[in-house]
């Protein structure tokens, strides 16, 4: 239906940053399934160490490396 409205299919790359709530509930896969159902492509990776808070994660080197990895992934 979106295609008939003139909206084109999209291909996006996403890095999910979170804690165990993000990984245990499988949020990345859920969002990917929603994108697929809408005819879009979602390439994703996740950095979700348990017990972490967002302000702790944003400036960690490993988080930046994950962001670079998803950016260059085809």
Q: How far, rounded to the nearest angstrom, does the alpha carbon of residue 58 sit from its chain's CA centroid? A: 15
Question: Does 7 or 58 have the greater pLDDT score?
Answer: 58
Q: What does the mean pLDDT of the chain come to?
A: 80
Say whether pTM exceeds 0.75: no
3-state helix, strand, coil in the chain (%, to 5): 45, 20, 40
The reported pLDDT for the residue numbered 48 is 86
Nearest to 47 by CA among 72, 69, 73, 74: 69
The reported pLDDT for the residue numbered 30 is 93
Confidence of residue 4 (pLDDT cuts 50, 70, 90): very low
């Amino acid at each position: 239906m979106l295609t008939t409205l003139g909206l084109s299919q999209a291909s996006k790359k996403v890095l999910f940053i979170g804690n165990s709530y993000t990984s245990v509930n499988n949020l990345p896969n859920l969002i990917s399934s929603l994108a697929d159902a809408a005819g879009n492509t979602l390439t994703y990776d996740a950095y979700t160490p348990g017990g972490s808070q967002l302000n702790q994660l944003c400036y960690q080197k490993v988080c930046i490396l994950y962001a670079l990895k998803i950016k260059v992934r085809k």
